[in-house]
Amino acid sequence: MYPLIDDVGSFPLPKGVNRETFAQAYLKTREAIINNQDPINDEFLQKNFCQIVKDSFRKKLTCGIDVVTFPQQFNGLRQIGDAIHEVMTQGSFIVDPAKAILPEVYVLNRYAKELSEEFNKKILLRICLFGPLEQYIHEIGTTVYPDVLEGFAETINNFAKNAILNNKHIETKAISIDEPSYGHTNLTTTTDIIIKTLQKAYDFQGPTRQIHLHSTSGIRDLTNVKNLDVLSFEYASSPKNINDIPKKLLEETNKQIRVGITRTDIDALWAEAYEKGIEKPAAEQLVESVETIRKRYITAKEKYGETFTFTGPDCGLGSWSDQDVAALVLKRTVEAVKSP
């Protein structure tokens, strides 16, 4: 039995879509949902946001991944950061649950029946959110005020709870709280406060609770976060990371692992192609081969066994040139894992 294949989230906009128009439509869609208005009934929002989200998600579904993250095509930090800014002007750091809305989740729920029938299966959805530590670093800095950090954690928790869907057409299978700065940027606080913060953010039931990291530095401390299920790290672009987490540690702390097996660091891939004399590499030359990806998968599977429950690309694909080449990354990852 192979682990579930997912993706980390970000995805290119379709060709011809203006990023500023899309961002404008995103913000107006969020506002409409908060005001109990259906954005699908608004011509501008339907064309410039809802249809784009639906079509981009469909593109991911065609790749064969098991658990599909909503296409994160708006600035990931602003998804929650904008809402935090609003409450900060009022002296708070906690976004009211009624305003803790991810517009993509609303749209996908509205189209779930159509997509489920088209692909003849229940849609398994993955949610990605920049976590309380990342949001805090971005908004406040590295000096920690525990009550403020706790407010950020409650806000993330409100967004997560509102993103949980479970009906016959669609189910939120996993929620990943992404903390890319963890291990790179040191917060002036104790490990106990970081653990307490994350436990508050993960205080929900139902979906598998993941954390996505870029560095494995300090990852052992995260095994003490009681309601965290899956630790996720990059392996394809950072091979040494796999040496930092022994299977025994996962078994002793009742944790599972997600290992990134396909490179997504597009700038480095371009540079490597250029060094080989390929000045204008085709998509197929930038995307790793199935054989290369499968070797990493086999290594991770042999190391972690039954604790290896999720896999997929290292990180998101939002920086890739277009949706077709991003989809090829996903397709080759699926083939590498599912091939006999």
Mean pLDDT of the chain: 96
Q: Which two tokens stand for residue 76?
A: 């990931």
Question: How much of the chain, in percent, has pLDDT values that exceed 70?
Answer: 100
- Please give the pLDDT value at position 1: 79
Alpha helices per DSSP H over 142-207: 146-162, 191-201
- Please give the pLDDT value at position 213: 95
Select from 223, 237, 242, 208 the least CA-distant residue to 310. 208
Strands (E) in the chain, as ranges, are 4-5, 68-69, 123-130, 170-178, 208-212, 230-234, 256-262, 308-313
Q: Based on the structure, what is the number of domains in the chain?
A: 1
Asked whether residue 340 carries a pLDDT value surpassing 90, the answer given is no
Cβ atoms < 10 Å from Cβ of 20: 7
Amino acid at 73: Q
- Please give the pLDDT value at position 179: 97
- Please give the pLDDT value at position 120: 97
Asked whether residue 281 carries a pLDDT value surpassing 90, the answer given is no
Average the pLDDT over each of 34-43, 227-236, 282-291 and give the range with the smallest value.
Answer: 282-291
**pTM score, two decimals?**
0.96
Average the pLDDT over each of 57-66, 124-133, 255-264, 265-274 and give the range with the smallest value.
Answer: 265-274
Using CA atoms, how far apart are residues 292 and 279, in angstroms rounded to an integer? 22
Confidence of residue 304 (pLDDT cuts 50, 70, 90): very high
- Structural domain for 123, as ranges: 4-338
Please state the rounded mean pLDDT for residues 247-265: 97
Q: What is the DSSP letter of 321?
A: S
- Please give the pLDDT value at position 279: 84
Asked whether residue 52 carries a pLDDT value surpassing 90, the answer given is yes
Q: Which residue matches tokens 């930090």?
A: 77
- Please give the pLDDT value at position 280: 85
Asked whether residue 284 carries a pLDDT value surpassing 90, the answer given is no
Asked whether residue 64 carries a pLDDT value surpassing 90, the answer given is yes
Asked whether residue 131 carries a pLDDT value surpassing 90, the answer given is yes
Encode pLDDT of 179-235 as tens digits.
Answer: 999 988 989 999 999 999 999 999 999 999 999 999 898 899 999 999 999 999 999
- Please give the pLDDT value at position 65: 97
Output the domain CATH number for residue 331: 3.20.20.210
- Please give the pLDDT value at position 274: 87
Q: Which residues pair with 129 in a beta bridge?
A: 177
Encode pLDDT of 91-101 as tens digits.
Answer: 999 999 999 99
- Please give the pLDDT value at position 278: 87
Asked whether residue 37 carries a pLDDT value surpassing 90, the answer given is yes
Using CA atoms, how far apart are residues 187 and 281, in angstroms rounded to an integer? 41
Select from 203, 23, 225, 212 the least CA-distant residue to 97. 203
Asked whether residue 337 carries a pLDDT value surpassing 90, the answer given is yes
Encode pLDDT of 143-179 as tens digits.
Answer: 999 999 999 999 999 999 999 999 999 999 999 999 9
Asked whether residue 5 carries a pLDDT value surpassing 90, the answer given is yes
